[in-house]
Amino acid sequence: MTYLGDSGETSAVLRQNISLLDMNPATGTKATFVAPGSVTRGEYGLFRWDMPANSGGAGSHFHRGFSESFYVISGQVSLFNGDKWLEVSEGGFLYVPPGGIHGFSNSADLPASMLIMFAPGIAREKYFEELAEIRATGRTLTEEEWADLFARHDQVNL
């Protein structure tokens, strides 16, 4: 049990008008940090990922300290399950436990949207904010800088 009180409490958090993060100006991919860990007391993080047609995505990778789940809201998303790339349509869901190899992409001719959930709710938004800043400024990182970025954010690329 995480709540030990007898009568409940008023503790709900409402968020509205959440801003979008332009993840990649070249592709038009946008992220919305619907419920980052800072809002959910670190229990989970919930992000919306909007991808224009043929916008690519994340190659195969894994995380040591958190699970990641994908739920396709619209369109078709290519999700890698560690074995093969699957074409997942609206309503499809993929759960990836810690250590599970995965990736995602939109290689379709139509836009797609999905929800991504991280558990526990680490500050995953910091990783995406850093990536967005690198892409927006056109900054070139050295191999050591990329390795540091990935290590700080539990991102093991394959």
Reported as a pLDDT band with limits 50, 70 and 90, residue 2 is confident
The Cα–Cα gap between 52 and 71 comes to 17
pTM (two decimals): 0.94
What is the DSSP secondary structure assignment for residue 90, as one 8-state letter?
Answer: T
Tokens of 1: 């049990």
Place of tokens 């990536």: 131
Report residue 77's pLDDT band, with 50, 70 and 90 as the boundaries. very high
* DSSP symbols for 98-154: TT--EEEEE-SSS-EEEEEEEES---HHHHHHHHHHHHHHT----HHHHHHHHHHTT
pLDDT-derived band at 1 (thresholds 50, 70, 90) equals confident
Which domains does the chain possess?
20-157 (2.60.120.10)
Query: Which tens digit of pLDDT belongs to each residue from 32-76?
Result: 999 999 999 999 999 999 999 999 999 999 999 999 999 999 999
pLDDT value, residue 90 = 98
The string of pLDDT tens digits covering residues 96-105 is: 999 999 999 9
